[in-house]
């Protein structure tokens, strides 16, 4: 039997985002952010995919699951102790921008928000767990959305700069690993969360979307440079949603189409953030979509100087593409598009399960960039059942993770430099796309349900003990 190997200092752990775990949405001066106005259930998915969202809270109509989430805000000590029990080397989390700058445009940071993350980082260090921090994970201050139009507005760069400098200065002795924007490329399909505005009409999407992206690239470079200056031994990465694109068949038209989709979705943002310049294929794309970017004098130089140290990415699925699709084919695809791949099974939410795709992704990214890679999200959203004896036998999750971990080891053998793996949703939390609690990813079960009921009690699943053993043997016993 093959043994799977990982580097000695491999960063095993789990991943979360502030808005999906913390709750305490208005505690200690925290301001509202985008996640606070997204309702649970089907409505959320429709909002994310459709134009015309109003960014208001309608309590009479909806339940807002992120307001309490799983109350990590109060229970972080208990949760971190459980992560430590599993042997985590790293914990990926994000800082809620609105705890630090409640509206986003203040001049002074909110001391209570800063103090909260001090406590969390101290608790992690108590157990030797390395924090891996996403600076912006779908949590833009609502005030910047409503008053400034989100990332469309260049002024937001200045507010972001203030925010990143405040957190780098405050946590310079506590956090070494950073990432700028979560799944920056996802805004190409879901602009609301990443770019902070809703497109009113389909045909109006190009110019504002790509202008907003330009602002994020400048902001990302400012963050990278500031991080290196303020925290000399730090590593700061980009974070992309990577889903390798397969052509449905060997028809060259489909192969070309798959390549173009891959360029736009998987590589456009990473090329800018890793290589420091807009890729050649975007020039044609901008021309064909009548996009004229407003670029200020020093922007391109700044982007060149502020390139990232590593590539963080999420991997959940591959995507299969065909140039001409029927509506029916289209409807059966994954959340990010494409058509059904006949060789793959899918999760209960229709996300196709493809461990080999992770090895492919790692090879593609390393071939292209030759920078260290970090799988900062990967996991299976599934319904879990508590047995009569109180156990939760999530063998399906163990199978999923085992195959993906094997794929990473294969990629390492292929020569890929991979520094860590933080599986998504190490503890059950609010789903980003559906706002459900029943879409569970965790090694730790949380008693919280789609209608908001539940005691919030934590319970170890079978996968908890399995992952603990994986970490203890550095991936040798899977």
List, by residue number, the catalytic residues: 377
Of 460, 446, 432, 357, nearest in space to 400 by CA: 357
Q: For ligand BG6, which stretch binds (CB under 6 A), given 107-115, 160-168, 288-296, 429-437?
A: 429-437
Query: Looking at the DSSP assignment, which residues form a beta bridge with residue 377?
Result: 314
Q: Closer to ligand BG6 by CB, 276 or 312: give it.
A: 312
Of 269, 312, 311, 264, nearest in space to 289 by CA: 264
Beta carbon of residue 40, minimum distance to ligand BG6 (angstroms, whole number)? 12
Question: Which residue number is nearest to ligand BG6 in terms of Cβ?
Answer: 433
Determine if 377 is a binding residue for ligand BG6 (CB under 6 A). Answer: yes
Beta carbon of residue 94, minimum distance to ligand BG6 (angstroms, whole number)? 9
Sole binder of ligand BG6 in the list 11, 17, 18, 240 (CB under 6 A)? 17
Q: Closer to ligand BG6 by CB, 66 or 314: give it.
A: 314
Determine if 433 is a binding residue for ligand BG6 (CB under 6 A). Answer: yes
Distance CA 98, CA 187 (A): 20
Strand-pair category, 310-314 with 373-377 = parallel
* Residue carrying structure tokens 């200065």: 169
Q: For ligand BG6, which stretch binds (CB under 6 A), given 5-13, 83-91, 95-103, 424-432?
A: 424-432
DSSP states of 350-367: SPEE-HHHHHHHHHHHHH
Strand-pair category, 319-321 with 310-314 = unpaired
Beta carbon of residue 420, minimum distance to ligand BG6 (angstroms, whole number)? 16
Determine if 182 is a binding residue for ligand BG6 (CB under 6 A). Answer: yes
DSSP states of 328-355: HHHHTSBTTB-B--TT-EE-TTSPEE-H
Torsion, Cα of 381, 453, 457, 127 (10° steps): 60
DSSP states of 141-169: BHHHHHHH-GGGSTHHHHHHHHHHHHHHH
Determine if 424 is a binding residue for ligand BG6 (CB under 6 A). Answer: yes
Sole binder of ligand BG6 in the list 75, 319, 406, 439 (CB under 6 A)? 439
DSSP category for residue 201? S
Q: For ligand BG6, which stretch binds (CB under 6 A), given 208-216, 279-287, 425-433, 460-468?
A: 425-433
Q: For ligand BG6, which stretch binds (CB under 6 A), given 110-118, 402-410, 431-439, 462-470?
A: 431-439
Sole binder of ligand BG6 in the list 339, 431, 443, 466 (CB under 6 A)? 431
Spell out where 242-392 has E strands.
245-247, 310-314, 319-321, 345-346, 352-353, 373-377
Count Cβ atoms below 10 Å from residue 63 Cβ, excluding itself.
Answer: 14
| Total number of residues that touch ligand BG6 (CB under 6 A) | 14
Determine if 314 is a binding residue for ligand BG6 (CB under 6 A). Answer: yes
- The contacts of residue 158 (CB under 8 Å, 6+ apart) are none
Beta carbon of residue 439, minimum distance to ligand BG6 (angstroms, whole number)? 5
Q: For ligand BG6, which stretch binds (CB under 6 A), given 60-68, 212-220, 413-421, 433-441?
A: 433-441
Q: Closer to ligand BG6 by CB, 211 or 434: give it.
A: 434
Which residues, numbered 183-202, are part of the site for ligand BG6 (CB under 6 A)? Answer: 183
Identify the three-state secondary structure at position 21. Answer: helix
Sole binder of ligand BG6 in the list 432, 444, 446, 471 (CB under 6 A)? 432
Residues at the interface with ligand BG6 (CB under 6 A)? 17, 20, 182-183, 241, 314, 377, 381, 424, 431-434, 439
């Amino acid at each position: 039997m093959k043994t799977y190997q990982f580097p000695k200092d491999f960063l095993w752990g789990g991943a979360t985002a502030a808005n999906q775990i913390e709750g305490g949405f208005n505690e200690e001066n925290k301001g509202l952010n985008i996640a606070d106005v997204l309702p649970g259930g089907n409505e959320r998915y429709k909002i994310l995919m459709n134009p015309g969202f109003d960014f208001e809270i309608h309590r009479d109509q909806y339940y807002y699951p992120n307001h309490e989430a799983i109350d990590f805000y109060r229970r972080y000590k208990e949760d971190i102790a459980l992560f430590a029990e599993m042997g985590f080397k790293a914990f990926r989390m994000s800082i809620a921008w609105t705890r630090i700058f409640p509206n986003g445009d203040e001049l002074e940071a909110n001391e209570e928000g800063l103090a909260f993350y001090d406590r969390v980082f101290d608790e992690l260090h108590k157990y030797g767990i390395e924090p891996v921090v996403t600076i912006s994970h779908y949590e833009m201050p609502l005030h910047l959305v409503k008053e400034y139009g989100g990332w469309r507005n260049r002024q937001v760069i200045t507010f972001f700069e203030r925010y990143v400098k405040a957190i780098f200065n405050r946590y310079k002795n506590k956090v070494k690993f950073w990432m700028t924007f979560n799944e920056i490329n996802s805004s190409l399909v879901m602009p609301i969360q990443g770019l902070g505005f809703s497109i009113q009409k389909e045909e109006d999407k190009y110019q504002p979307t790509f202008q907003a992206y330009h602002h994020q690239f400048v902001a990302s470079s400012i963050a990278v440079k500031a991080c290196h200056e303020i925290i000399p031994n730090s590593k700061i990465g980009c974070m992309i949603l990577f889903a390798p694109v397969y052509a449905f068949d060997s028809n060259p038209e489909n192969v070309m189409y798959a390549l173009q989709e891959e360029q736009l979705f998987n590589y456009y943002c990473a090329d800018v953030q890793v290589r420091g310049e807009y890729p050649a294929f975007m020039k044609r794309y901008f021309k064909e979509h009548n996009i004229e970017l407003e670029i200020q004098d020093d922007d391109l130089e700044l982007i060149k100087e502020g390139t990232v140290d590593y590539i963080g990415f999420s991997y959940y699925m591959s995507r299969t593409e065909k140039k001409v699709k029927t509506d029916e084919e289209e409807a059966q695809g994954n959340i990010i598009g494409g058509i059904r791949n006949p060789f793959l099974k899918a999760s209960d939410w229709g996300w196709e399960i493809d461990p080999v795709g992770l090895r492919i992704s790692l090879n593609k990214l390393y071939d292209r960039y030759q920078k260290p890679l970090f799988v900062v999200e990967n996991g299976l959203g599934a319904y879990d059942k508590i047995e009569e004896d109180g156990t939760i036998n999530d063998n399906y999750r163990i199978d999923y993770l085992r195959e993906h971990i094997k794929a990473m080891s294969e990629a390492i053998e292929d020569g890929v430099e991979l520094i860590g793996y933080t599986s998504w949703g190490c503890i059950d939390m609010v789903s980003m796309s559906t706002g459900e609690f029943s879409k569970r990813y965790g090694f730790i079960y949380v008693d919280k349900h789609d209608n908001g009921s539940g005691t919030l009690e934590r319970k170890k699943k079978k996968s908890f003990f399995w992952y603990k053993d994986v970490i203890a043997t550095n991936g040798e016993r899977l």
